[in-house]
Homo-oligomer: A and B are copies of this chain.
Amino acid sequence: MTVAAQSEVQVDNAEVRVTEWRLPPGAATGPHRHGMDYVIVPVADGEMTIVAPDGARAKAQLKTGKSYFRKAGVEHDVLNETATEIVFLEVELKV
């Protein structure tokens, strides 16, 4: 059974939305498409499993405080197949 990812919006204004995401072991975000450009800031070390719409799987390492940027349009599911909680902040750019 899949555990739900937990999300908490920290900032939501005209410019940005900042959401904290927590994926306990076994959790998944569910398939989603990013409607905005975004920056990810890992708050803990971890490993994500990224599942593309065609089912292709890839592993991505999260290193605390090491950010990355993605353009709007990305589609994927994000899973935690490890024993360690995944925690990151997503900064979505509205403008």
A50 contacts the other chain (CB 8 A): no
Residues of B within 8 A of A16 (CB): 37, 39, 69, 93
Contact of A10 among B11, B66, B95 (CB under 8 A): B66
Residues in B whose Cβ lies below 8 Å from that of A64: 43
10 shortest interchain CB distances as A-B pairs:
A43-B65, A11-B69, A41-B41, A18-B67, A10-B67, A15-B37, A91-B91, A95-B95, A41-B89, A39-B91
Known pairs A41-B41, A95-B95; A65 contacts B20 (CB<8 A): yes
Q: How many copies does the complex hold?
A: 2
Complex contact B68–A15 (CB within 8 A): no
Q: Would you give the shortest CB distance from A78 to chain B, in whole angstroms?
A: 17
Whether, in the assembled complex, A61 has its beta carbon less than 8 Å from a beta carbon of chain B, the answer is: no
- Binary contact readout A37-77 vs B (1 if CB under 8 angstroms, 0 otherwise): 10101010000000000000000000011111100000000
Within 8 A of B (CB), among A2-45: 10-11, 13, 15-16, 18, 20, 37, 39, 41, 43
